[in-house]
Amino acid sequence: MLNYHSYLLPKPAFIAMKILKRLLVSFVFLLITFVFVGSVNAQQTPPDFPACSNPQGTLKVKYDSGVHGIPGDPNAYSGSDAVYIVDVDRIQQCFCSDVGNGIQTNWWRIGSLTQEEIDTLKNLGWHFIPDGSTWGLNPEPYMAFNSAYGCGGTSTSTSSLGSSGSSGTVLAAAASTQGSILGLAATGDALTPYGLVLLGLTSILLGIHLYKKKTQRVNMRSISKFFILLGLFCFCLAGFLYWRRIIPQRLQFNKAEVLPSDQYDKAADKPVLLTLGELGITLDIYPAAINNGKWETTTKGVSYLTPSAISGETGNTIFYGHNYKNILGNLKKAKPGQIIQIKSSDGIRKKFRIEYVQIVNANQTGILDQTKDSRLTLYTCTGFLDSKRLVVTAIYQEDLGALSSSSQ
């Protein structure tokens, strides 16, 4: 029992120790909570899948032509189709249409998932297939996720949920003088590293203070060493989290077609405002680039990666922003079918329809690949300690024209 007389400490020091003890208990509790939440999230995270641009596993079946179905899509498509068995729980289907637009379907055998976990995945764009035998698979339940990739002579890696890597055509920045893309931008909240630094500093200062003191009944140096070690641990953990934010894992890419570096400056329809009305998101757009391997970010709105396509034109337009409550905190509620509008500097509003909502690792840069269609990619941080990225992919629908002066 910790009491004032047993340690023979000055009363202020005794009170400080009691407060610090409570802080340490709270810290340990929060750490255990983070680990538990991380393990729960891991149970709901699908396994990694290879990209159809570099298929892996054993070829199960291949059709050079014919009409094929896509899970979750009532339409039938004409083209080639190949199915690969990656392992007992993962099957990869690579469809390539006659005009060169590919659809990758990741099949995941899910015998142990609860209904709540299935519903969570469905909200992220996965389709529940209760009986795989209807698609030529084993008579077991599966989850299926569709994503677009380039085929027909131009290889781009899939932007699938959980794709294991990327190869082929990537964002032009990978081949520009800016160097290879290290990973997706760190768009999470930096309060955790700063909080650990503060806790570590407090712990070390208290440890040094106690190290200089000896009492008649207790050698405080043993306790002081514990606080000093705890402080050093907090510093190391904070440094690791900060390093992970600014220096993601380096990846190697094949060279890509370089987009004109001055395309943004010459464009008359620069994106200036992003709106996702159903989620109450209306944000200014700020031009950004990747300089020396680091993504430029802003706390005022969303960033537009200027080497990517101009919104509404052929290619992939990349937007990203922090997951702060006043920026993209509500993006986790995004669902397929919702509408994103991009207002351009010429006043024209461009309509995009959300097709996919997915979670990827920070090093899965396949979502940046340029495409043959016109699409928008919007992402922010999510997951345990902001280690993953929540990605929304929307396909261009039409120009809505400019708002009248009375409605602006």
pLDDT confidence of residue 323: 85
Q: Are 170 and 157 in contact (CB under 8 A)?
A: yes
pLDDT confidence of residue 42: 44
Helix (H, G, I), strand (E, B) or coil at 38: helix
Mean predicted lDDT score pLDDT of the chain: 74
Q: Comparing 370 with 18, which gets the higher pLDDT?
A: 370
- The secondary structure element, H or E, covering residue 381 is strand 374-382
Range name among 20-29, 154-163, 239-248, 299-308 with the lowest pLDDT average: 154-163
188 — pLDDT class (breaks 50, 70, 90): low
Q: Comparing 90 with 406, which gets the higher pLDDT?
A: 90
* Helical residues (DSSP H) of 96-219, grouped into ranges: 115-123, 191-211
pLDDT confidence of residue 133: 84
Q: Are 86 and 56 in contact (CB under 8 A)?
A: yes
Query: Is the pLDDT at 216 greater than 60, yes or no?
Result: no
Q: What is the pLDDT of residues 88-136, one digit of tens each?
A: 888 999 998 887 778 889 999 887 778 888 888 887 778 898 888 888 8
Range name among 55-64, 205-214, 241-250, 281-290 with the lowest pLDDT average: 241-250
Quote the CA–CA distance of 220 and 213 in Å, as a whole number: 6
pLDDT confidence of residue 392: 92
Q: Comparing 153 with 324, which gets the higher pLDDT?
A: 324
pLDDT confidence of residue 340: 95
Section 55-63 average pLDDT? 86
pLDDT confidence of residue 353: 93
Query: Is the pLDDT at 210 greater than 70, yes or no?
Result: yes
pLDDT confidence of residue 121: 82
> 285 - beta bridge partners?
302
Tell me, which fold does domain 263-400 have in CATH? Answer: Sortase; Chain: A; (2.40.260)
Query: Is the pLDDT at 310 greater than 70, yes or no?
Result: yes
The residue assigned the tokens 């509008």 is 341
Section 283-301 average pLDDT? 81
pLDDT confidence of residue 256: 32
Full-model pTM: 0.54
Q: What is the DSSP letter of 52?
A: T
Query: Is the pLDDT at 330 greater than 60, yes or no?
Result: yes
Query: Is the pLDDT at 11 greater than 70, yes or no?
Result: no
Report domain extents, the chain. Answer: 4-38+189-246, 58-165, 263-400
285 — pLDDT class (breaks 50, 70, 90): very high
Range name among 216-230, 279-293, 335-349, 389-403 with the lowest pLDDT average: 216-230
Reference 49, options 95, 96, 80, 87; nearest CA is 87
- Tokens matching residue 252: 């190697």
Q: Comparing 278 with 11, which gets the higher pLDDT?
A: 278
Query: Is the pLDDT at 334 greater than 70, yes or no?
Result: yes
pLDDT confidence of residue 276: 95
pLDDT confidence of residue 15: 59
Section 275-281 average pLDDT? 94
Q: What is the pLDDT of residues 37-50, one digit of tens each?
A: 444 444 456 777 88
**Residues of the chain with pLDDT > 90: what percent?**
14
pLDDT confidence of residue 382: 83
pLDDT confidence of residue 338: 94
Q: Which residues, in sequence order, are CB contacts of 110 under 8 Å at separation 6+?
A: 118, 141, 142, 143
Section 304-316 average pLDDT? 86
Query: Is the pLDDT at 327 greater than 80, yes or no?
Result: yes
pLDDT confidence of residue 189: 58
190 — pLDDT class (breaks 50, 70, 90): low
Q: Comparing 6 with 212, which gets the higher pLDDT?
A: 212
Reference 94, options 47, 124, 59; nearest CA is 59
Reference 398, options 319, 344, 341; nearest CA is 341
Burial of 147 (0-12, 13-18, 19+ CB in 10 A): buried
pLDDT confidence of residue 164: 32
Query: Is the pLDDT at 350 greater than 90, yes or no?
Result: yes
Query: Is the pLDDT at 16 greater than 80, yes or no?
Result: no
